[in-house]
Amino acid sequence: MYSDKTVPGSNGSSNRTNGTSSAVHNQDNHTNGASSTSSSSSSSSSSTSSSSSNNHTSSVHTMELTPQPDNYSCIKSCPHISSVLESKAKDTVFETYRQAVLISQPTANKIYRSKKDHAMIPLAKILGSKIGALKCNECHLNNFENSMICLQCPHVGCCFNNSNHSYSHYKSTKHQFSIDSGSGLLYCYKCNDFINHPDLERIRMKVVDHEYSNASGVEDAYYSDPSTLATRGLKGFVNLGATCFMSSILQTLIHNPIIKYHFFNNDLHYFNCERGHNQYVNNGFIDENNACITCSMDNIFQSFFTSDSLDGFALSNFLATSWHKKKSLAGFQEQDAHEFFQFLLNELHIDHSRIMTALGDTELFHLPQTCSCISHSVYGFQLKSSIECGSCRYVSNTMEHVNDLSLELNNGSGGLYDCLDQFTKEEKLEHYTCTKCSSVKSTTKTLKIQTVPAVLTLHLKRFKHDLNSTKIESKIEIPMFLNISNYCAEQETQQGEGAGERGGRVKEIYELFGVVVHEGSISTGHYTVYIKNSGQWYKCDDSVVSLVSQDEVLNSNAYLLFYIL
């Protein structure tokens, strides 16, 4: 197959080595070098492409499909893939590889029926779904026989052309393994060659044998439309008993593109966390010594974006981890979603600090403005508090590091901009002693945003805890796009906690992508969340996910708002 192609490496021109090439080709048809070589793979590539679903159980063909000699097993392994398959990533790698091999299999004409209602589905629709699933993420090239599927994240990149976005992905993320969508062969960028492994070969042959065994005498192939599968992250969480406050916050992280990129493109924690490794060798058993929030969240991301199951995700692993981390979460009592959000960000920072300390970095993560953890690099920003003396006009400035803003609701009237106006307006301070002139004259205090975060989280203070706890039910006007320029410090702002030197004002217009809603009373309420996915809004109510209109989102009784630059 590969004699007339180039390796998807850096130069885009080197051919496959003769040893590997001869291993792939059908020896009976092999002639000098191979441009005219016939192989089992190349005949596969020129065949009609198969469904991207892994759910077919039977099939009927209107034309005979004869298996060709398969010599892929002669391709050798490499130390890089062997190392990965000895780690806790093994099971995820096996499942990703199985699905990629499945999508590479050729088909003739089949009769497909929907798993949902058994209705016939045109082959053209299935091919269209496959083209969409294997489109290059960067240039959107539709040649699904020349795409490389990353083994370590959901990225699909083109290859064998001038752009070679699969190789660019490897250079930027260090994800060294990709799967050829036309053959199911694994490519190692460090070795600059196609590789194999006995465990992977067994998976590939099982898929191939299943495809050919279905080629005769069976009636239908069942199919699930990939556009509806959970690989877009559209699935819910099973409520394990008053866990809606957890699931609503987790959905906002899962559908935050920056957080998703971090979990799929940063293997620092994954390969260096001893706690996660201890869980793996102990068959998933969690105790106080191996509980790790980041590892538990990584399991959630893997399930949401690499599994084709639409079933709700059970939070048992994450719940047990949270209980070990914060005893007050133990039990089945409703908790505050905002407090859980703060707990989650704090734990992500602690996990990051633990890994950095183990790797010998003991300085940068101690300061919020230089910490590279998710909490500080994505959500963290600085608030500037300015106190002006009413006598000498001396201004004292202090900085506070925060992950969100808690806004008063103005007695339930107005909109979000009114809440921000109140938060940043001048406040009179009585009996304040000036640090410069020692005057006790009345002074003023103002709060401004000093650095802008990548994700701005706004907490609307709906709950009042006085002698009698009450909830403010009034709705406020929520903008889809939020301009915070008027609420930033007058001097030029920086973006994020760890931004470099100031060099001009940054964009300060945010777009809404998540809304957590509290329904019901303060004592017997329920949390739901609206999230934006691929330009559409969805409501997640525990395990139920439904498509909704933008108007419904903007008219919701919001409790937490998530805006992204």
Span 485-541, pLDDT tens digits: 999 987 544 444 444 333 344 457 899 999 999 998 877 789 999 999 888 999 999
Give me the domains of the chain, ranges plus CATH numbers.
Answer: 72-213 (3.30.40.10), 229-488+506-564 (3.90.70.10)
Distance CA 391, CA 439 (A): 7
Q: Is 273 a catalytic residue?
A: no
Helix, strand, coil shares, percent, the chain, to 5: 35, 20, 45
**What does the pLDDT average to over 166-171?**
86
Q: Which residue has the tokens 């294997």?
A: 134
Q: Which of 244, 273, 373, 540 is catalytic?
A: 244
Task: Using only the alpha carbons of the chain, give its radius of gyration.
Answer: 28
Q: Is 244 a catalytic residue?
A: yes
Distance CA 321, CA 246 (A): 12
Contact, 305 vs 193, CB < 8 A? no
Span 325-376, pLDDT tens digits: 887 776 556 789 999 999 999 999 999 888 888 887 766 656 777 788 899 9
- H-helix or E-strand spanning residue 343: helix 337-358
Listed in sequence order, the residues at least 6 apart from 251 whose beta carbon sits closer than 8 Å to its beta carbon are: 237, 514, 529, 531, 540
Question: Among 77-81, 103-107, 405-409, where is mean pLDDT lowest?
Answer: 103-107
Question: Among 51-65, 72-86, 480-494, 519-533, where is mean pLDDT lowest?
Answer: 51-65
Q: For residue 212, what pLDDT is reported?
A: 45
Comparison of pLDDT for 498 and 181, the residue scoring more: 181
Contact, 106 vs 59, CB < 8 A? no
Q: Which of 30, 210, 277, 526 is catalytic?
A: 526
Contact, 420 vs 484, CB < 8 A? yes
- H-helix or E-strand spanning residue 275: helix 274-281
Q: For residue 19, what pLDDT is reported?
A: 35
C-alpha distances out from residue 351 to 88, 153, 292, 337, 430, Å: 18, 22, 7, 21, 42
Query: What letter would DSSP give residue 331?
Result: S
Q: For residue 15, what pLDDT is reported?
A: 34
Query: How many CB atoms within 10 Å of residue 318?
Result: 23
Band the pLDDT of 75: cuts 50, 70, 90.
confident
- Report residue 58 as tokens: 């039977």
Distance CA 287, CA 346 (A): 19
- Report residue 400 as tokens: 């506070």
